[in-house]
Amino acid sequence: MIETVATTPFDDQKPGTSGLRKKVPHFQTAHYVQNFVQSIFDVAKRPEKAVLVLGGDGRFFNREVVDIVIRMAAANGYGRVIVGANGLLSTPAASNLIRQRKASGGIILSASHNPGGPKGDFGIKYNIANGGPAPEGVTEAIYRRTLEIKEYRIAKAAAPDLSTPGEIAFEGMTIEVVDPVADYAALMEQLFDFAKIQALIASGFTLTFDAMHAVTGPYATEILENRLGAAKGTVVNGEPKPDFGGGHPDPNAVHAADLIARLMGDDAPDFGAASDGDGDRNMIVGRGIVVSPSDSLAVLAANAHLAPGYAGGIAGIARSMPTSQAADRVAAKRGLGMYETPTGWKFFGNLLDAGKVTICGEESSGTGSNHVREKDGVWAVLLWLNILAERGESVKAILEAHWAEFGRNYYQRHDYEEIDKRAAEKLMESLRDRLASMAGQRFGTLVVSEADDFCYKDPVDGSISTGQGVRIVFSGGSRIVFRLSGTGTKGATLRVYIEKFEPDPAKHGQNPEEALAELVETANAVGEIEKRTGRTKPNVIT
């Protein structure tokens, strides 16, 4: 039986960089989830009896929302819901299923790298038929709908048990429970030379993968240990937990400090990697060296042709604006198209669909390709392994050779988390007010060559996105970028991105901290960070 429930709008259901994210108790407010899901169903482009893909990263509240979405899908005319067993799907696996199974879209439940648990974060994201995050036009329409919603439809019956793959009839709809890993692992086998990677591992190459108690545990265990023959125990923290074991599933120097320490030690394995809550981010560490995400994008783009899935070469590269320009140097040297987009994977969708680019990446540990329409953590690990197997060199040697060929873009991101929202907005406002007069200004040895607020015009559909971050470029190409995060759930987070290009190989061995010292000081001065936020230093540096 279908029930129509009267409701009133919430005024805070505007999706951010990657879906709607709030604290769990906020999502637990009566009708809160239902209002948002109904708004998605009201604006989603879908045929009669459409197929919906559904799954999440297993965080606290995942199971309850999976049930609500299934009951609402049945009440809203969907013909089939494809759901990962126990409600689990990594973000890239969901993207793959949407594409493989020609679904009209998918709902992914995750707050990605944000902590989980009863007081942690939760999130709901809608992806469209190409498998990618809904573009701004769609998220805006969903938001407008949330402001006028009056009722939602839901099946009265409880959703069935979802622990075993198979089909279940439910309220006139079919629920198809799938193994969350199977289709994804099959896709990886098509893209990469598993035999070659197996041989590398069999020859004594050692690796470790930290799943951070998040969704990639089952994926990494199946692929790395079962299919590629890595030793049992290669995957650590491999069991997904609703609170991520109390940790923060963000693969960076702060939250994956144990992994980095292991890779810097005397008995370090050859290769280390980690992924985030929903499996779309990656961190790559070689013995004795951490690969910055922007460098990883550049190295993957330069070497992708070594893997079977990209043997014909790549069409082009896209990166988000704050991501370092290391990839641009690869594109320039190889004669490839290069695109600079606003932060967030949704901006890559059109470029990938149009065949303008093959590889995309963000400084926030996201890399991916046209195999799905999301960034993909395990994919990045496998591409690295395929490249290592082909080149037979260490991560460190590959990175150093890359810098020698293309130059090195020293890079850091400084995050000031949970600062006062008003103060953060004022800081950005003040920067914007000063943009026009900035060119020509001198800070120490640095002279501003141009400054603007990044505005993107999508080359495929012509849509325009304004206010995407303040860029200050100095003569010589160094850059400072300021923007506010669109994924936080408390106060505001200021992100300051700092980059310096160094062509001289003799100077490639510096510590980024030293190489960027003058720019960091300048960022503090130009942004008036201490004066406006009261913070003398960032809480996270990546």
Q: List, by residue number, the catalytic residues.
A: 112
Task: Tell me which of 13, 34, 96, 487 binds ligand VG1, using CB under 6 A.
Answer: 487
Contact set for Co ion, span 21-80 (CB under 5 A): none
From the list 27-35, 185-193, 343-351, 498-506, the region that binds ligand VG1 by CB under 6 A is 343-351
Q: Are the C-beta atoms of 126 and 142 separated by less than 8 Å? A: yes
How many residues bind ligand VG1, per CB under 6 A? 18
Q: Does 216 bind ligand VG1 (CB under 6 A)?
A: no
From the list 23-31, 38-46, 338-346, 391-399, the region that binds ligand VG1 by CB under 6 A is 338-346
Distance CA 163, CA 214 (A): 18
Task: Tell me which of 276, 295, 376, 502 binds ligand VG1, using CB under 6 A.
Answer: 276
What is the residue whose two structure tokens read 């991501």? 323
Distance CA 340, CA 56 (A): 29
Q: Nearer Cβ to ligand VG1, position 153 or 255? A: 255
Contact set for ligand VG1, span 109-138 (CB under 6 A): 112-113
Burial class (CB in 10 A: 0-12, 13-18, 19+), 195: exposed
Alpha-carbon dihedral 68, 70, 73, 79, rounded to 10 degrees: -170
Task: Tell me which of 121, 225, 280, 502 binds Co ion, using CB under 5 A.
Answer: 280
- Distance of CA 76 to CAs 4, 111, 530, Å? 10, 25, 51
Q: What Rg value do the Cα atoms of the chain yield, rounded?
A: 23
241-274 as b/e: b if 16+ CB within 10 A: bbbbeebbbbbbeebbeebbebbeeeebbbbbbb
Pairing of strands 366-369, 446-453: unpaired
Q: Nearer Cβ to ligand VG1, position 94 or 129? A: 94
Task: Tell me which of 57, 210, 280, 458 binds ligand VG1, using CB under 6 A.
Answer: 280
How many residues bind Co ion, per CB under 5 A? 5
Contact set for ligand VG1, span 403-422 (CB under 6 A): none
Task: Tell me which of 325, 343, 358, 367 binds ligand VG1, using CB under 6 A.
Answer: 343
Q: Does 57 bind ligand VG1 (CB under 6 A)?
A: no
Element (H, E) at 331: helix 326-334
Q: Which partner, Co ion, ligand VG1, none, binds residue 18 by CB below 5 to 8 Å per kind?
A: ligand VG1
What's the sign of the alpha-carbon dihedral 507, 511, 512, 515? Answer: negative
Task: Tell me which of 486, 491, 535, 541 binds ligand VG1, using CB under 6 A.
Answer: 486
Pairing of strands 235-236, 540-541: unpaired
Element (H, E) at 99: helix 91-100
Q: Are the C-beta atoms of 119 and 126 separated by less than 8 Å? A: no
Q: Are the C-beta atoms of 293 and 324 separated by less than 8 Å? A: no
Q: Which partner, Co ion, ligand VG1, none, binds residue 62 by CB below 5 to 8 Å per kind?
A: none
Contact set for Co ion, span 237-276 (CB under 5 A): 276
- Convert residues 292-321 into a mask of x (bound to ligand VG1 by CB under 6 A) and - (unbound): ----------------------------x-
Structure-token pair, residue 330: 């690869």
Specify which residues 76 forms β-bridges with. Answer: none
Task: Tell me which of 17, 34, 104, 112 binds Co ion, using CB under 5 A.
Answer: 112
CA 471 to chain centre: 22
Residues listed for the chain = 542
Q: Does 303 bind Co ion (CB under 5 A)?
A: no
Which residue has the CB atom at the shortest distance from ligand VG1?
Answer: 112
**Interaction site with ligand VG1 (CB under 6 A):** 17-18, 112-113, 276, 280-281, 320, 343-345, 362, 364, 366, 485-487, 495
**Interaction site with Co ion (CB under 5 A):** 112, 276, 278, 280-281
